[in-house]
Amino acid sequence: MKSTRRLELHEDRFFDPNPVVRRIARQLYRSVRDLPIISPHAHVDPKIFVKNEPFPNPTELFIIPDHYVYRMLYSQGIPLESLGIRPIDGSPCEGDARKIWKLFGEHYYLFRGTPTGVWLNHEFSVVFGIKKQLTGETALQIYDEINQKLQLPRFRPRALFGRFKIAVLATTDSATDTLEAHRELRSSGWKGRVIPCFRPDELTDLQAENWRSNIDLLGERAGVEITSYSRFIQALEDRRSFFRSMGAVSTDHGVDSSYTHELTNREAERIFRRALKGAATNDDAALFNAHMLMEMARMSLEDGLVMQIHSGADRNHNRMIYEKFGPNTGCDIPAAADFTRNLHELLNKYGNDPRLTVIIFTLDESTYSRELAPLAGHYPALKLGPAWWFHDSIEGMMRYRQMVTETAGIYNTVGFNDDTRAFISIPARHDLARRVDSTFLAGLVARHIIDLQEALEMSYDLANGLAKKAYRL
């Protein structure tokens, strides 16, 4: 059946239907709606701002870079190759952008009720002014309309950066990255603030693919031959210093486990030398990772970089997809996590020092009220990152606030960040977060837990102030 229904975003979307709460939520949202966006943790490629060229087409803007989008389509049996996702061996994939978009439109109904659908509708309506709902029948018309607009100067990356009111955008970069794109941006005279983030996982995980060659590259970048653990640490400290000189304010650690344990230098040296010989065991890798989290906390205390830990995810769960298409293809699945015991050693050594900031993110939301809120509500160094991926949604964000706030308050959290590769989705995600937080705070006002003035101040902090403070921006 053909559908030409209009795409209309209700001004009260995501607010509680209770008229008392909704009225307060409107007021809170209006107070933060137009605040600049702080995006302290994302995965946008900085090269798009260096080149500042028109985005190639709607398919390469909306679908190919966003695993939130294509994982849902894959779940319905649509091959990733048919969506333009190229296998790592270079074998063929669909190259007709219009054909891919038509397939996307035919299956757009799959996103009803999901956060991805919410973001996409915002992008279509608010960013591109699309007036019709996307379906198989309207797909090519919408494709052409977006494609025409992408050729206009106001839809180029730097112009959109300003239009989205992004105050700062942090990318996520390998510890061995030359940060050449960041160099070019700094020397270009453009006023947009795009900063790197130091991510050393491929070096600290002894089981990482190509670990040995990564170590060689680290040595090359740091100007030191890495033949020992002590030289490895020296090289990491050198790279952190370089990242700081390029504007970095944080590190990021995507770990299977948040287990922390400090080894002696002799123990670390023995494990590292076994790894250099290709003889490290699974137990070696687990212990070394636990030790390196301790080392990264030590370094952060010394150099001031904020430490982010992402755990509670079984990464690349679908081995066939991982082996065929590589990492970051929508296959991370929530897994049970332990923080009370796993972080015990790190927090007892460094957690009482307010000069350090460690931000914890997890996909295991069962830990929010049981472990994370009590930990963050006690240790000065520990803060809680916002709902991430599967919980980066209307209900997930609300559950996060409900489970965390009573124990830790909002001031032991860091507001919201979008953690996205899809640049075009950034304003949609922040708008959703501001609406959800407005609803949450409005409920507290309606029940006389806080007053309206307190809610207005908290609303500002959740939208802007907490991230700015936590990341020292």
What span, in angstroms and rounded, lies between the C-alpha atoms of 182 and 381? 29
Among 231, 301, 295, smallest CA distance to 263 is for: 295
Residues sharing a CB contact under 8 Å with residue 205, sequence separation 6 or more, in sequence order: 211, 255, 285, 289
Among 306, 165, 298, 319, smallest CA distance to 244 is for: 306
Q: Is 193 helix (H, G, I), strand (E, B) or coil?
A: coil
Are the beta carbons of 199 and 174 closer than 8 angstroms?
yes
Q: Is 306 helix (H, G, I), strand (E, B) or coil?
A: strand
| Residue found by looking up tokens 């959800």 in the block | 436
What span, in angstroms and rounded, lies between the C-alpha atoms of 29 and 459? 8
Among 386, 387, 392, 373, smallest CA distance to 466 is for: 386
| Residue found by looking up tokens 């949604």 in the block | 393
Cα atoms found within 13 Å of the Cα of residue 391, Cβ hemisphere only: 25
CA distances from 64 to 29, 30, 56, 150, 378 (A): 32, 34, 11, 16, 42
Q: Is 83 helix (H, G, I), strand (E, B) or coil?
A: helix
What span, in angstroms and rounded, lies between the C-alpha atoms of 235 and 223? 8
What span, in angstroms and rounded, lies between the C-alpha atoms of 289 and 351? 19
Could you read off the pLDDT of 378-420 as tens digits, one per residue?
A: 999 999 999 888 888 999 999 999 999 999 999 999 999 999 9
Are the beta carbons of 438 and 28 closer than 8 angstroms?
yes
What span, in angstroms and rounded, lies between the C-alpha atoms of 473 and 466? 10
Q: Is 171 helix (H, G, I), strand (E, B) or coil?
A: coil
Q: What pLDDT score does 168 carry?
A: 98
Could you read off the pLDDT of 157-187 as tens digits, one per residue?
A: 999 999 999 999 999 999 999 999 999 999 9
Q: What pLDDT score does 4 carry?
A: 77
| Residue found by looking up tokens 């400090």 in the block | 262
CA distances from 449 to 14, 133, 443 (A): 22, 40, 9
In order along its 473 residues, the chain shows pLDDT tens digits of: 455 799 999 999 999 999 999 999 999 999 999 999 999 999 999 999 999 999 999 999 999 988 889 999 999 999 999 999 999 999 999 999 999 999 999 999 999 999 999 999 999 999 999 999 999 999 999 999 999 999 999 999 999 999 999 999 999 999 999 999 999 999 999 999 999 999 999 999 999 989 999 999 999 999 999 999 999 999 999 999 999 999 999 999 999 999 999 999 999 999 999 999 999 999 999 999 999 999 999 999 999 999 999 999 998 999 999 999 998 888 989 999 999 999 999 999 999 999 999 999 999 999 999 999 999 999 999 999 998 888 889 999 999 999 999 999 999 999 999 999 899 999 999 999 999 999 999 999 999 999 999 999 999 999 999 999 999 99
CA distances from 456 to 417, 439, 449 (A): 20, 12, 14
Helix, strand, coil percentages, rounded to 5, for the chain: 50, 10, 40
Q: What pLDDT score does 1 carry?
A: 46
Q: What pLDDT score does 145 carry?
A: 98
Are the beta carbons of 332 and 317 closer than 8 angstroms?
yes
Query: Domains (ranges, CATH) in the chain?
Result: 19-52+161-470 (3.20.20.140), 54-155 (1.10.2020.10)
Among 321, 445, 470, smallest CA distance to 382 is for: 470
Number of H helices, E strands in the chain: 22, 11
